[in-house]
Structure formats: C-alpha cells, structure tokens
Structure 1
Amino acid sequence: MKRVAVIGGGQNGEHDVSLASAASVAAALDVTAYDVVALTIESNGTWRDRGGRPIGLSGAACVLRSCDVVFPVVHGPRGEDGTLAALCELAGLPYVGSGVGAGALAMDKWATKLVANALGIATAPGHLVTRATAAHERWTHPVVVKPVAAGSSLGVSLVAESDALPAALDAALALDTRALVEDVVLGREIDVAVLRRADGSLFVPPALEIVTDGLFDHEQKYGGHADFRVPAPLGGVDAKALLDAAAATYDALSCSGVARVDFFLTDDGPVLNEVNTVPGMTEHSQVPRMFAAAGMSYADLLDELVRGAL
C-alpha cells in the first residue's frame, strides 16, 4: 500500500479553499490502495499533522520522508507557484502536479501571456503596473485590474469608470507587488482541463462553460451561485481551437498532472485568460466535473494523478 501525503492550507487568501480541496482529495483516495497522511499549513506558516498537532517544518519533513508520494493541494502563492514542488524536489520525493518552473510561470499571469503570445495564442491587451507607477495610471476605457500572481479572483476588479481605478489598483497591489491592467474581453468564459496520464499521453475532457452576469469573482466562485455547464455547447471548430490552445499552453509551460486553462471564447477565437496548475479539487470543482463528463470518476482522476507522480 502506497503512503500518500496530502498537503492543504497555505499562507495566502486561498487558505480555506485549499483546505476544502485537500479534505476532499484525502477522503476520496482509495483506502484499499493508499494510506493517506494529511498535513496542513496554517495561515501563519505553522505545519500541523493529521491530528492537528503543530510539528513545524522539520517535523513535516520527517512525515514527508516516510511517504511514497506527495499530493500538494495548496492553491496560490507559497504553494501553487512552485514552492511546494521545490520542497519535494529537495527532499527527493515524487509529487503530484507541475514542477517548480511550470508552477512559477503559470502563477505569473504576465509571464503566461508572454508564453501564449509566442505560441500565437491571443491574450487580452494589457500592461504591468507597480506601486511606483500606479499614481501615473490613467483610465481611458473599461479595464480589468488583477494581481499578477494570485488566485480565486482575489483582488480582481472590473473598472468601468475612472473614479474606481485607484481603489482597484490598491486592491490588486495589496496582494502582489505588480498588477495587471487588461482590456475587457467580451466572450464566453470557457475552461479546459488537460491531464498528463501516467503513460505520458495527454487527455483533454469536454470543456466547461461558466455562465455569469458580469465578472466571475470570488463570491460567485465560492458562494454557490456559479452556473457551470459541462459539456460546454461548442461547435467543432471552436472546440478544436480551444483544445489545441490548451494543450499547446500546457506543453509550453511544461505542466504535469492536471491543469485548468481558462479562456474567453470570442468571435475571433479563443483568448487565453490564465492557467491554474493546482486548480480547485473538490468533487464539485470545475476540473473534476469536466472529467466526470468524460466518464472518469473523481476517485479515478485522483488515482491517475498519483500513479502519474509515481
């Protein structure tokens, strides 16, 4: 029986979301095949064992070294950005998901745009703003302001008038040293999941559409009001364009395991929004829903990820 360490929590605004994902993963892993060891990183950085006892990083390292594989489910900075992958690499432990470089690149929305543009994949026109340059930023048309490296739509604002721009920049820069100011893209919100199977092949299940009135913000994501439609109603041309763009982006970033690639589908084709290398992983999150639509159960998806890591 393989021993699997499932890590949840983290030191960022997605802490509670990560706890839900990790608890769901730990509960769904096949108990006949895996001995699951839960570890939690508190918001203050304290590591706790499955009994809730504080054990510190050194104690966590001892637990991790007793495991065959690590399943990190920490979303956002100090987790998804390659941090936990680096810890596993240094400890010589196999782990589920993308490596250090892929996690860092995908977490950086500006770097992801550069990679996509080099592939010929459209992204929203935009530019970087820092605390030093924010005072000189001028509003000329509706824009979306977001932190460069954050998730769960935290710090994201739709700015429809000039008076709202300073507050939007403050909100984004409170979570990161850089903010991204992008033109508003009018299109359908489509998510595509990409999985590298244990045999090395790529599997892309049916896409999912998020039907929303306005900005798909943190409240809509986690308030129980999101309208997810899977399979997304797509024509053959659009479906192929989205699949090809998602797979090309996944490969160019050197992703592993499963990633969620988010697009706007416009009249001119797909526009890449962002890439999530540690997407939400409760059974009702977008990624498991897409694989369920392809006939792969939640437990089978988790098993595929663990076997791929091993």
Structure 2
Amino acid sequence: MATHDLRQSILKPPAAPATRILLLARSAPLAPDYAVASYPGDGGYPAYYHRVYEVLRGLGYRVATSNQCRALYSVAQDVDLVFSLYNRMPIDNPEVFVASTCEFLHLPHIGAKPNIRALAEDKWITKNFVRALGLPVAEGAIYARADDLTKPPPFAGPYFVKNRFGAASEGVTDASIQDDWAGAARVAERFFARGMAVLVERYARGVDVTLPVIGADEPLVLNPVRPCSDRSGAIVTEDLKRDDPLGYRMHDVGAAARAFAEDARTLWAAAGPMDYLRLDYRFDDRTGERVFLEFNICCHIGRSGAICLAALQQGLSQADLLGHVVEYSVRRQARMVEARKWVR
C-alpha cells in the first residue's frame, strides 16, 4: 500500500500562486468577514468549510466563496478553479449538477468529469460497474416505490437498506440492518417517505473500512482507515457521519492490503483521473473478506477525516494535501483554460 515516501510525490504550490479559486459549499464562510457560517443541523460542516478556506488562503491562493451554485455563472470570468464541497443542495445528485455546469462554462473543477460523478453518486450503477471490473460486491436490488416491495430481492437476508443516491449516509440508521424481508420493506418505506430511492444489499458482516486515494499520474493509495462506530454491526449512521463524534482510526487489514490497493488501481484505470477519493468497504477481520460498497469523489478532507488521518501517517498535513489537490487538478485540466475563451 503506501510503502514509498509520499512526500516525494506531492505537488507543491508556487511561492505566489496565481490560481483563483471559488470555494462552493452550502455553509461556506462568506464575505466580508468569512466567519464560520451559522447553519443549524449541519453538524461540523460549517467549521470544516471554514478550515478549508483558511488553509487555501494560507497557501497563497486567492479564494472567493459562495453558498449558491448559481454563483458559477456570475464568477466564471474571475476564477480559475472551482472547489465544490456542495453535497447537500436540495436536488438529486448536486455534485453532478456542479460538475456539469462547470463543464458548460469550461471552468476547471475539483473532482472528476460529470459522468464519473454520476457513476459514483448512483450506488446501484457503481455496484454493477465495479463487479464488471472484478471487485467483490454484495448482492443487491433496487426499489423505487412501495408497490415494488411485494417482490423480495433474489437473495436471503440479513439485509441492509440504504439510499440509492445521496451523501453522508443519508437515511441510514440502526434499523437499516434487518434479518427478514418484512422488516427491510418497512425500512424501505421510510426512505420512500423522504423521497428517496432504495438500494437493498445482503448485509456484510465486519466493520466499515475506507481506502483513501490521492490523484496523481499514478494514483497514490494510502493505508486503510476505519470510521469508528458504536452502532449495531459497527455501521456508520447518518447522525454519526454528520456530527462525527467518534472520528476515525487506522485499520490494519493484514494480508488483504495488496488486494485493497489493486482495487484502487483497477477503479482508477477505468474511471480516472480523479483529484481525490476514497473507496468504502465492509471488511471481516476474521476471514480477510472485503466487500466493496461505493466510492466517494471529493470526500471529507478535513483534519479529522479519513484521508487526512491516512496522509498524516505518511508525514503529510492537510495543507500538503490541499495544495497537491489544487495543483494536480489545475494541471490535469490545463487544456480547458484555452477552451474557455468562447464564454468570455
């Protein structure tokens, strides 16, 4: 896995970077004082976005901010890179909207192309995609309305019920684990009541493990991290993900480390380039069995998050990561700068 010196592979911003960044987030710090935003119910996100803003400014970048996606149209002439962490816009798949709008405006943007963002946001399409690549996935079935629940999935329980789309474990509670189909169907109906489509998977025993990856000419695969949980089955529920009270810790996957790293490289070869991401799994320490769940582009890059924790083990700070991500993203999208002339 991360056996080489990552510090030799990380790009560093120039002494006086010219890149102008738009930081886009629902609770972004705003002019004129750029204080931590007040956004009740948004957990630690406002402080997280404020910290990202401060680090980018500290690296020398000129950073504008907005909590409105429509700002993309008004600032297109004045920024060189969109750093969007907007994953709670009140529409389906806002990450795809932002990426697509940036493509229309020929604006370089952190993350990946819109089609890859769409792939990552749809956990059902992701599951079928990575299965075709040879990654191990749990059996699954999708449900869009209550009438569909009369037909159970073509596999036995226990079941895990979750939102087919959505970020931050939205809708996941302790009740997401159900032994029988009757219980799983009742949980699915609660998702429908919130306007969500449902993915039902065969529940995989073990713990959640995530594999952080940093974009580069060859992806930089970090060591696995475990999001801590005190819930049934050690699952990560919506409230744990939003408020992050238990944090993360490194997790030794033993002999499975090589297989995890190979998964990351296989996914990258098919879906890359991406600026930074993580691959999420269930992992059974007793058997060494791993089950791929999803991959998350532009995952949490706060100091307490998985990617920063894994990078810290290699001597990299949050500032090192953010500087590399910006410089790599700008470099890989350099051809878009010339193409932008048509919107001027």
TM-score using structure 1 length: 0.84
Residues 26 and 238 of structure 1: CA distance in aligned 2, closer, same or farther (over 3 Å): same
Instruction: Deviation per CA, 1:72-116: give whole Å up to 9, x if none.
Output: 111256566421111111111111111101100011001111111
Query: Which position in structure 1 is the counterpart of 2:339?
Result: none
Larger radius of gyration: 2
Aligned residues with identical type, % of pairs? 23
Asked whether the 8 Å contact 1:80–1:278 carries over to 2, the reply is: no
Describe the SS at the equivalent of 1:128. Answer: strand
The one-letter code matched in structure 2 to 1:298 is Q
Asked whether the 8 Å contact 1:125–1:182 carries over to 2, the reply is: yes
The one-letter code matched in structure 2 to 1:294 is Q
Query: Which position in structure 2 is the counterpart of 1:136?
Result: 150
Asked whether the 8 Å contact 2:248–2:304 carries over to 1, the reply is: no
Q: Which runs of 5+ in 2 are unaligned?
A: 1-17, 28-40, 331-344
The count of residues paired between Structure 1 and Structure 2 equals 289
1:270 aligns with 2:282: no
Query: Which position in structure 2 is the counterpart of 1:65?
Result: 77
Q: Which runs of 5+ in 1 are unaligned?
A: 42-46, 48-56
Residues 80 and 150 of structure 1: CA distance in aligned 2, closer, same or farther (over 3 Å): same
Residues 118 and 163 of structure 1: CA distance in aligned 2, closer, same or farther (over 3 Å): closer
CA–CA separation in structure 2 for the residues paired with 1:79 and 1:293: 33
Aligned partner of 1:202 among 219, 222, 234 = 219
Describe the SS at the equivalent of 2:292. Answer: strand
CA–CA separation in structure 2 for the residues paired with 1:223 and 1:110: 26
Query: Which position in structure 2 is the counterpart of 1:51?
Result: none
Query: Which position in structure 2 is the counterpart of 1:38?
Result: 65
Query: Which position in structure 2 is the counterpart of 1:54?
Result: none
The one-letter code matched in structure 2 to 1:134 is D
Instruction: Deviation per CA, 1:151-207: give whole Å up to 9, x if none.
Output: 21112222235553343112323455531111110123211011112xx22111221
CA–CA separation in structure 1 for the residues paired with 2:297 and 2:168: 13
Describe the SS at the equivalent of 1:180. Answer: strand
Residues 6 and 245 of structure 1: CA distance in aligned 2, closer, same or farther (over 3 Å): same
Describe the SS at the equivalent of 2:120. Answer: helix
Higher strand share: 1
Asked whether the 8 Å contact 1:72–1:95 carries over to 2, the reply is: yes
Post-superposition offset of 1:219: 1.9
Question: RMSD of the alignment, in Å?
Answer: 2.6
Asked whether the 8 Å contact 1:150–1:175 carries over to 2, the reply is: no
Query: Which position in structure 1 is the counterpart of 2:248?
Result: 228
Post-superposition offset of 1:252: 2.0
TM-score using structure 2 length: 0.76
Describe the SS at the equivalent of 1:154. Answer: coil
Query: Which position in structure 1 is the counterpart of 2:229?
Result: 212
